[in-house]
Amino acid sequence: MEIAPLPYPYDALEPYIDEKTMRIHHDKHHQAYFDKYMKAIEGTEWADKDVKEVLENVDALPEDIKQAVINNGGGYFHHTFFWTILKKDVPFKGEVAEEIKKKWGSLEKFQEEFSDKAKTLFGSGWTWLVVNNGELEIVNTKNQDSPISLGMVPLLCIDVWEHAYYLKVQNRRPEWIENFWNIVNWEQANKYYLER
Ligand code: MN
């Protein structure tokens, strides 16, 4: 089975994410997480459940499939989410923007803290803006561990696995993070904030 297509053309985020990276990231990496996730839950009571519901309940999973579901269900869900919060030329506004300014003082201060968090994540993982216990927070998760499993509501995120940026900027993760700020879909992040 094929995963849903990207919600925009592969080159829609150029020059900040190149077309080739998007093709490999979506068609190969994202697809592979989905395939392995489906294989892990096949024939279990979890097979017909929404992946979000499964990730919210990882503690209830049988031990023999638990880690495979965390890794691959996480990888499947996180990428689907990630594509939705990327778009060029979206202004920073809405309730979420107001809350960010309230908490961090300015967009720039927020970006600084978020970027530092993403730069210093050791190995592979994601940096997130989440709502946790009613508060905005910046958190890192390792590998494909999900903030969903910790009861948090994600609003936006950056993929800091090397496959997200290596073709374009090689080992220069800070450059990838700089590029990311040009393609944050604040309108979608605001929707997630209002739905929390
Ligand atoms: Mn990825």
Rounded Cα distance between 170 and 142, Å, is 20
The Å distance, Cα 30 to ligand 1 centre, comes to: 7
Task: Note the pLDDT tens digit of each residue in 129-147.
Answer: 999 999 999 999 999 999 9
The Å distance, Cα 3 to ligand 1 centre, comes to: 14
Q: Contact at 8 Å (CB) between 140 and 128?
A: yes
* pLDDT at position 85: 98
Q: Which residue has the tokens 């839950």?
A: 41
In words, the CATH class of domain 95-195 is: alpha beta
Which of 3.10.20.30, 1.10.730.10, 1.10.287.990, 3.30.565.10 would CATH assign to domain 19-84? 1.10.287.990
Q: Do the domains at 19-84 and 95-195 have one common CATH topology?
A: no
Task: Note the pLDDT tens digit of each residue in 63-119.
Answer: 999 999 999 999 999 999 999 999 999 999 999 999 999 999 999 999 999 999 999
The Å distance, Cα 79 to ligand 1 centre, comes to: 6
The Å distance, Cα 102 to ligand 1 centre, comes to: 31
The C-alpha torsion from 180 through 7 and 193 to 122, rounded to 10°, is: -40
The Å distance, Cα 20 to ligand 1 centre, comes to: 14
Model pTM score: 0.97
Rounded Cα distance between 190 and 188, Å, is 5
Domain extents for the chain? 19-84, 95-195
Query: Is 118 exposed, middle or buried, given 0-12, 13-18 or 19+ CB atoms closer than 10 A?
Result: buried
pLDDT confidence bin for 11, thresholds 50/70/90: very high
The Å distance, Cα 169 to ligand 1 centre, comes to: 15
